[in-house]
Amino acid sequence: MSTRLYDVTHITTYTYPEQVTSSYGRGYLTPLELPEQRLLDHTVTVAPEPSDRSFMKDVYGNTGFYFHVTSGHTELVVTGRSRVEVDAPAADHLTIGPAGAPWELSRPVGKAAARAVEFRLDNDPPEIGELVSEYAAETFTPGRPLGDAVWDLTHRIYTDFTYHSGSTTVSTRVAEVMNRRAGVCQDFARVAIACLRSQGLAASYVSGYLATTPPPGKERMVGADATHAWAAVWLPGGTWLAFDPTNDQFADERYVTVARGRDFVDVSPLRGIIYTRAKTSSMSVSVDVAPTANEETVPIASVP
């Protein structure tokens, strides 16, 4: 089994045309501790220095970060730095255990699956409509192995939908994405989640980073990576099988998981409230997922 070691830097800069007198923020920038992922070091800094800040675990086990800046400012910079070690999945992880069994057996039932039941429920307002159910039914035929069905769903979304940056927002409904057949990574993850839930399976929205490589002959550009979103289906025993419809692949050692929730709103990297007379603001994000010096980067499909 191969292991990758990454230094991740995530910098978010907010700029305002007039002074902000108070800024309160919440975010998820701390990678998760998982059987296949280890967080070796992590810091979050805020400039200007906040008068109050804290970390806490949410109901899903994610580490949330809270801060309150009370000094006047026209620029706010939040920087998360992490060193993360990620293992590659076993070569047979899609064909053994629950992944190799009929998908119907992965529907969460009984006390052992109590914590997964919430991830089986539709959103409010509902996202599982006729289009979603019909689309999912083509993949989840009776008795099909779960790993095979999830792979088929991943590939179909990748093939049937077009990546179009700026075509949607975080509030765009799944039905609209189904009709447009276009969106970005968060949309494709949400379509996949709705499809899984339409079949009675538990599915989660995953926020994190994907290590990318430059084109052949080009140097790696620091800060050119991006936050990413993908989906995961719950397996009996309490593990998750993560997959990425945007890039037509299952998650592996190139994926750094930051947070897992029912939907985007549960795991937004940063959100908050400001007090200012300014009518506009701007935000820029720089993300760098750098293999350490003793690691080689494997070419992969880049997130558009």
**pLDDT, position 5:** 96
Average pLDDT over residues 91-104: 96
Q: What is the mean pLDDT of the chain?
A: 91
Instruction: Let me know whether 226 and 100 are in one domain.
Output: yes
Structural domain count of the chain: 2
Instruction: Let me know whether 138 and 27 are in one domain.
Output: no
Instruction: Let me know whether 49 and 153 are in one domain.
Output: no
Instruction: Let me know whether 257 and 281 are in one domain.
Output: no
Q: Residue 296 domain-assigned?
A: no
Q: Residue 297 domain-assigned?
A: no
Q: What are the two backbone dihedrals, phi and then psi, of residue 176, each rounded to the nearest 5 degrees?
A: -65, -40
Instruction: Let me know whether 110 and 219 are in one domain.
Output: yes
Domain that holds residue 218: 89-266
**pLDDT, position 218:** 65
CATH number at residue 272: 2.60.40.2250
**pLDDT, position 292:** 85
Instruction: Let me know whether 57 and 122 are in one domain.
Output: no
Instruction: Let me know whether 100 and 208 are in one domain.
Output: yes
For 146-198, the DSSP string reads HHHHHHHHHHHHHHHSEE-TTS--TT--HHHHHHHTEE-HHHHHHHHHHHHHH
- pLDDT higher than threshold 60 for residue 296: no
Average pLDDT over residues 199-210: 97
Higher pLDDT, 227 or 122: 122
- pLDDT higher than threshold 60 for residue 129: yes
Q: Can you tell me the distance from the alpha carbon of 100 to that of 149, in angstroms, rounded to the nearest whole number?
A: 10
Instruction: Let me know whether 253 and 278 are in one domain.
Output: no
Q: Residue 304 domain-assigned?
A: no
- pLDDT higher than threshold 60 for residue 221: no
CATH number at residue 150: 3.10.620.30
Average pLDDT over residues 244-252: 95
Q: Residue 299 domain-assigned?
A: no
Q: What are the two backbone dihedrals, phi and then psi, of residue 114, each rounded to the nearest 5 degrees?
A: -55, -40
**pLDDT, position 159:** 97
**pLDDT, position 108:** 96
Instruction: Let me know whether 14 and 70 are in one domain.
Output: yes
Q: Residue 228 domain-assigned?
A: yes
Average pLDDT over residues 293-297: 48
pLDDT tens digits for range 58-74: 999 999 999 999 999 99
Instruction: Let me know whether 179 and 38 are in one domain.
Output: no
Q: Would you give the end-to-end CA distance of the chain in angstroms? A: 29
Instruction: Let me know whether 186 and 218 are in one domain.
Output: yes
pLDDT tens digits for range 137-170: 999 999 999 999 999 999 999 999 999 887 788 8
Instruction: Let me know whether 214 and 96 are in one domain.
Output: yes
